[in-house]
C-alpha cells in the first residue's frame, strides 16, 4: 500500500510555501543572509515543533521565514518543495504564500513573486509538475492592509490563480475581509479561505456568503452545523483537509479521532493536503499513509480523494483530464 500511495498521482491544494522550510534549509539560508537564529542546531529547531495550538505554531512559522531575503531564496525554497512533493507523487500543487509576512519585514513584493514564479516554471520544465499561485492575506492584520497589498500586486494579477485568507482564525471572522474579496472578485481573481479549523462552523458560512470562496481550507468543524453540512454536500464545495496538521495543532488529539471518515460518510467533497509539511510531520505521502493506518482506507477511497483534489485544482481542463486519466490507470 505504501508504494501504491506514493505513485498515486496527487494534486495538493492546501500548501503554504513558507511552511515547507525544512530546518536544514533554514540554517543554510540564515548563514548565507547573516540571520541569527534562536536555535543552536537543526535538532533544536525540530525539538521546538511541539505546538499547543495554531498561535504557538504561527509564532515559530513567522520566525522561521525571517531567513528568506532574496528572490533566489524563494526560488530555492519552492524548488526544494517541488522536488520533495514530486517524490511523493504530487503532479500538481496550488501553492500559497503570505506577502504581508515579507512586506512587513522590509522585502518588496517582487522578491517572493519573482522567485516563486521562476521555480514554478522550472518545476514544470524539469519534472513536469504543474502549479498555481495563491496570494493569501493574514486575517489577524487589518483588512485595509490586505486591500493595499491587492492593489500593490497589480503587476502580478495575471499570475495569481486566487487570493486566500490564513493565519490566526479565532476572532478574525471572514466578514472582516468582505470588501477586499469583493475587489478580488471584480478583478476576476478566484477566492479561497481558511475556515472552520479553530474557528466555528459559522466562519465557513461566512467564507461562502461574505467572501464567495470557491474552496474552503480545512472546514473540519462544519460537522457542528447539520444545515451547513447539507449545503456543503449539495454544492460539493471542495474542503482541503490537512490531517497531520490537525493533529499537530491539536484540532484533534489523535488522527483516529479525526472527523475525516464522518465527512466522507456525509458525502462531502474532501481532499487530503499537507498544509505546512516542514512543521507538521511531512508531506503528502506521510498524510496519505497516516490516513491509511488510522482509518484503514483502501485504494478506491484514496483514488476518490485524489480525484476530488484534481477536480478542484486550479489547472487547465486538458491538464485536469490528463491527471484524472492517470489516476484511473493506477
Stretch that binds Zn ion, among 144-152, 228-236, 273-281, 299-307 (CB under 5 A): 273-281
Stretch that binds Zn ion, among 26-34, 41-49, 167-175, 274-282 (CB under 5 A): 274-282
Is 275 one of the binding residues for Zn ion (CB under 5 A)?
Answer: yes
Is 169 one of the binding residues for Zn ion (CB under 5 A)?
Answer: no
Q: Report, in Å, the least distance between residue 94 CB and Zn ion.
A: 12
Q: Report, in Å, the least distance between residue 76 CB and Zn ion.
A: 22
Stretch that binds Zn ion, among 62-70, 78-86, 176-184, 268-276 (CB under 5 A): 268-276
Is 98 one of the binding residues for Zn ion (CB under 5 A)?
Answer: no
> Which residue's CB comes closest to Zn ion?
275
Q: Report, in Å, the least distance between residue 135 CB and Zn ion.
A: 14
Neighbouring C-beta atoms of residue 161, cutoff 10 Å? 20
How far apart are alpha carbons 102 and 83 in whole angstroms? Answer: 24
**DSSP β-bridge partners for residue 94:** 132
Cell of 214: 470557491
Q: For residue 260, give the nearest of 53, 252, 281 by alpha carbon.
A: 252
How far apart are alpha carbons 143 and 83 in whole angstroms? Answer: 35
Contact assessment for residue 9 and residue 320, using Cβ atoms and an 8 Å cutoff: no
Name which of 54 and 327 has its Cβ closer to Zn ion. 54
Element (H, E) at 195: strand 190-195
How much helix, strand and coil, in percent to the nearest 5, is found in the chain?
A: 55, 15, 30
The region that residue 106 occupies, defined by phi over 0 for left and psi between -120 and 50 for alpha, beta otherwise, is left
Q: Report, in Å, the least distance between residue 261 CB and Zn ion.
A: 21
Name which of 73 and 275 has its Cβ closer to Zn ion. 275
Q: Is 197 a catalytic residue?
A: yes
Give the total of residues touching Zn ion (CB under 5 A). 1
Name which of 71 and 275 has its Cβ closer to Zn ion. 275
How far apart are alpha carbons 279 and 32 in whole angstroms? Answer: 22
Is 94 one of the binding residues for Zn ion (CB under 5 A)?
Answer: no
Angle, alpha carbons 134-139-143 (nearest 5°): 95
What are the C-alpha distances in Å from 263 to residues 163, 180, 218, 221? Answer: 26, 30, 12, 10
Q: Report, in Å, the least distance between residue 265 CB and Zn ion.
A: 24
Selecting among 197, 234, 293, 299, the annotated active-site residue is 197
Q: Report, in Å, the least distance between residue 217 CB and Zn ion.
A: 5
Start-to-end CA distance of the chain, whole Å, equals 12
Stretch that binds Zn ion, among 105-113, 272-280, 310-318, 320-328 (CB under 5 A): 272-280
Active site residues: 197
Contact footprint for Zn ion (CB under 5 A): 275
Amino acid at each position: 500500500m505504501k508504494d501504491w500511495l506514493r505513485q498515486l498521482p496527487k494534486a495538493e491544494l492546501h500548501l503554504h510555501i513558507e511552511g515547507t522550510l525544512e530546518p536544514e534549509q533554514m540554517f543554510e539560508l540564515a548563514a548565507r543572509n547573516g540571520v541569527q537564529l534562536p536555535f543552536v542546531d537543526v535538532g533544536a529547531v525540530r525539538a521546538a515543533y511541539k505546538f499547543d495550538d495554531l498561535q504557538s505554531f504561527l509564532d515559530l512559522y513567522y520566525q522561521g521565514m525571517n531567513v528568506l531575503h532574496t528572490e533566489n531564496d524563494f526560488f530555492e525554497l519552492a524548488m526544494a518543495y517541488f522536488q520533495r512533493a514530486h517524490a511523493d507523487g504530487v503532479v500538481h500543487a496550488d501553492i500559497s504564500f503570505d506577502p504581508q509576512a515579507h512586506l512587513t519585514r522590509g522585502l518588496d513584493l517582487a522578491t517572493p513573486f519573482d522567485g516563486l514564479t521562476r521555480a514554478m516554471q522550472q518545476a514544470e520544465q524539469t519534472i513536469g509538475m504543474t502549479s498555481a499561485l495563491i496570494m493569501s492575506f493574514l486575517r489577524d492584520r487589518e483588512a485595509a492592509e490586505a486591500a493595499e497589498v491587492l492593489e500593490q500586486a497589480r503587476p502580478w494579477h495575471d499570475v495569481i490563480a486566487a487570493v486566500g485568507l490564513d493565519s490566526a482564525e479565532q476572532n478574525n471572522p471572514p466578514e472582516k475581509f468582505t470588501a477586499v474579496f469583493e475587489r478580488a472578485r471584480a478583478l476576476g481573481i478566484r477566492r479561497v479561505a481558511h475556515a472552520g479549523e479553530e474557528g466555528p462552523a459559522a466562519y465557513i458560512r461566512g467564507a461562502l456568503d461574505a467572501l464567495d470562496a470557491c474552496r474552503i481550507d480545512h472546514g473540519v468543524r462544519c460537522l457542528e452545523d447539520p444545515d451547513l453540512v447539507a449545503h456543503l454536500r449539495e454544492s460539493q464545495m471542495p474542503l482541503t483537509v490537512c490531517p497531520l496538521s490537525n493533529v499537530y495543532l491539536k484540532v484533534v488529539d489523535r488522527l483516529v479521532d479525526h472527523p475525516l471518515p464522518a465527512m466522507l460518510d456525509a458525502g462531502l467533497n474532501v481532499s487530503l493536503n499537507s498544509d505546512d509539511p516542514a512543521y507538521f510531520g511531512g508531506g503528502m505521502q506521510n498524510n496519505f499513509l497516516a490516513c491509511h493506518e488510522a482509518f484503514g482506507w483502501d485504494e478506491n477511497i484514496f483514488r476518490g480523494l485524489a480525484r476530488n483534489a484534481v477536480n478542484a485544482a486550479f489547472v487547465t481542463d486538458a491538464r485536469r483530464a490528463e491527471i484524472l486519466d492517470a489516476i484511473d490507470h493506477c
